[in-house]
């Protein structure tokens, strides 16, 4: 009865396209654990879609936010600047692995950061075209949708999209799409579709998120860097999901040892508070005319306080080591499951950002979305929250907090194994 009342309350008040997965309200969370309104306990390996890298209610985040709320709640930075935003920008400029001087612009969400990164790159280069990748996801605002390379369900019925966006092939070794094939598709666009002298940027995820948790190789990204350098094109990394320890390093660029010109950060940046950033080379960021970029709520003093708390947590706790240990435990366990079950086709990812691809059989590699949906439901019934991704919805991804104790990671893996149907 209560479930029906809750469902009616949701359906009566929010759009059906925004409908929830869980049957009950979430009422409490701490680190990797959440409890719903019926006191069911779950291990949260969705983490607000890879947002809660430092878990629910990390003490350092809570303290920073509480302290800020005792002072003032909001100021539009462009009119009345505040210290939290400047301190955070300074930290990001220092920490992100771009060797030249950088500057940071703070906004509210990953999609907003992407929109601004493209706007900045086109203004700086005075060029028109942008290349992104099939399978990539960059947000739900209009330009971000255009850049997104996964049509269903995100783009279906919302077009037409900007004609200056072009999608290259993203490497996908399990599906026999090699680095060379992907690079050839980039060069084909530059040789046959657009003039490279009128191409502003190439936008790429270090590991495709929504498209199936598919990591790009160091070689591929280094070759993209060379293509950009050859033609004067800016390389933009979308690190909305790979940033803040998700790959086992603080930023994905450290894993692949390639420097972008601009990078977008969000999700794990502020421990669950809305915040995102565009970090870029100073000459690029300073090229924009006065008032050409801005945001009413961007650089919220509360969100910036939370973000400083996140950095304190990384600095004072061994979160990156725990992330790397999670990755070892998860890879070993999940690859053992792959050896036991023919329907597990692939286990992949940088660090603990791991995707498990399910197929009907390993020879034909036919995606098995139905099996994935059954496993997700069974996992949820058993106390583990997971979601799917991939072009065909046949990949289960793990996005638990990087602060999750290893015994709870092991508990989650046991639940996952017991939920395989």
Q: What is the dihedral of CA 51, 56, 61, 65, to 10 degrees?
A: 100
pLDDT for res 376:
98
Domains in the chain: boundaries = 2-46+318-418, 62-316
Sign of CA dihedral 211, 213, 218, 219: negative
Domains 2-46+318-418 and 62-316 share a fold: no
Mean pLDDT of the chain, nearest integer = 96
pLDDT for res 21:
80
- Give yes or no for a contact between 256 and 240, defined as CB atoms under 8 angstroms apart: no
In this prediction the pTM is 0.97
pLDDT for res 2:
57
Least confident of 40-49, 146-155, 181-190, 306-315: 146-155
Mean local confidence (pLDDT), 251-271: 98
Number of residues assigned to the chain:
421
Tell me the pLDDT band of 6, cut-offs 50, 70 and 90. Answer: low
The CATH fold assigned to 62-316 is 3.40.640
- Give yes or no for a contact between 250 and 320, defined as CB atoms under 8 angstroms apart: yes
pLDDT for res 266:
98
Mean local confidence (pLDDT), 194-219: 98
Residues 6 or more apart from 347 whose CB is under 8 A from it? 331, 334, 335, 338, 354, 355, 356, 357
Chain segment 18-71, per-residue pLDDT in tens: 877 888 899 999 999 999 999 999 999 999 999 999 999 999 999 999 999 999
Percent of the chain beyond pLDDT 90? 93
Q: Is the domain 2-46+318-418 a CATH 3.40.50.11740 member? A: no
Mean local confidence (pLDDT), 128-137: 97
- Which is nearest to 134 in space by CA: 208, 200, 240? 208
pLDDT for res 242:
98
pLDDT for res 23:
80
Query: Residue 185 above 70 pLDDT?
Result: yes
Rounded to an integer, what distance in angstroms lies between the CA atom of residue 395 and that of residue 368? Answer: 9
Chain segment 65-90, per-residue pLDDT in tens: 999 999 999 999 999 999 999 999 99
pLDDT for res 5:
64
Strand partners, 264: 238, 278
């Amino acid at each position: 009865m209560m479930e029906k009342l809750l469902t009616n309350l949701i359906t009566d008040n929010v759009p059906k396209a925004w409908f929830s997965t869980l049957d009950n309200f979430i009422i409490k969370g701490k680190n990797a654990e959440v409890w719903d309104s019926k006191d069911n306990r779950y291990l949260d390996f969705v983490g607000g879609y890879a947002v809660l890298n430092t878990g629910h209610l990390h003490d350092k985040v809570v303290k920073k936010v509480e302290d800020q709320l005792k002072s003032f709640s909001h100021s539009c930075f462009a009119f009345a600047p505040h210290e939290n935003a400047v301190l955070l920008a300074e930290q990001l400029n220092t920490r992100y692995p771009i060797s030249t001087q950088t500057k940071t612009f703070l906004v509210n969400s990953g999609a907003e950061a992407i929109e601004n990164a493209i706007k900045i790159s086109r203004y700086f280069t005075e060029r028109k075209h942008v290349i992104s990748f099939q399978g990539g996801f960059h947000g739900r605002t209009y330009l971000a949708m255009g850049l997104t390379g996964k049509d269903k369900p995100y783009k279906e019925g919302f077009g037409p999209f900007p004609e200056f966006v072009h999608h290259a092939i993203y490497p996908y070794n399990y599906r026999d799409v090699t680095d060379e094939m992907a690079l050839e598709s980039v060069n084909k666009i530059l040789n046959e579709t657009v003039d490279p002298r009128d191409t502003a940027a190439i936008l790429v995820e270090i590991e495709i998120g929504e498209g199936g948790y598919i990591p790009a190789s160091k070689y591929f990204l280094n070759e993209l860097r060379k293509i950009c350098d050859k033609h004067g094109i800016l390389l933009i990394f979308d690190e909305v999901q790979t940033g803040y320890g998700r790959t086992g390093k603080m930023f994905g660029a450290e894993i692949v040892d390639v420097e972008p010109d601009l990078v977008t950060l969000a999700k794990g940046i502020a421990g669950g508070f809305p915040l995102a950033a565009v970090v870029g080379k100073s000459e690029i960021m300073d090229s924009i005319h006065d008032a050409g970029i801005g945001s009413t709520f961007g650089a919220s003093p509360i969100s910036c306080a939370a973000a400083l708390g996140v950095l304190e947590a990384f600095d004072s706790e061994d979160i990156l080591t725990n992330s790397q240990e999670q990755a070892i435990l998860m890879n070993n366990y999940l690859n053992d499951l792959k050896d036991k079950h023919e329907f597990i086709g692939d286990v992949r990812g940088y660090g603990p950002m791991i995707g498990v691809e399910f197929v009907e059989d390993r020879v034909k590699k036919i995606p098995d979305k139905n099996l994935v949906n059954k496993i997700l439901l069974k996992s949820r019934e058993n106390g583990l929250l997971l979601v799917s991704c991939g072009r065909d919805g046949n990949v289960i991804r793990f996005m638990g907090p990087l602060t999750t104790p290893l015994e709870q990671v092991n508990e989650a893996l046991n639940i996952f194994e017991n939920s395989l149907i």
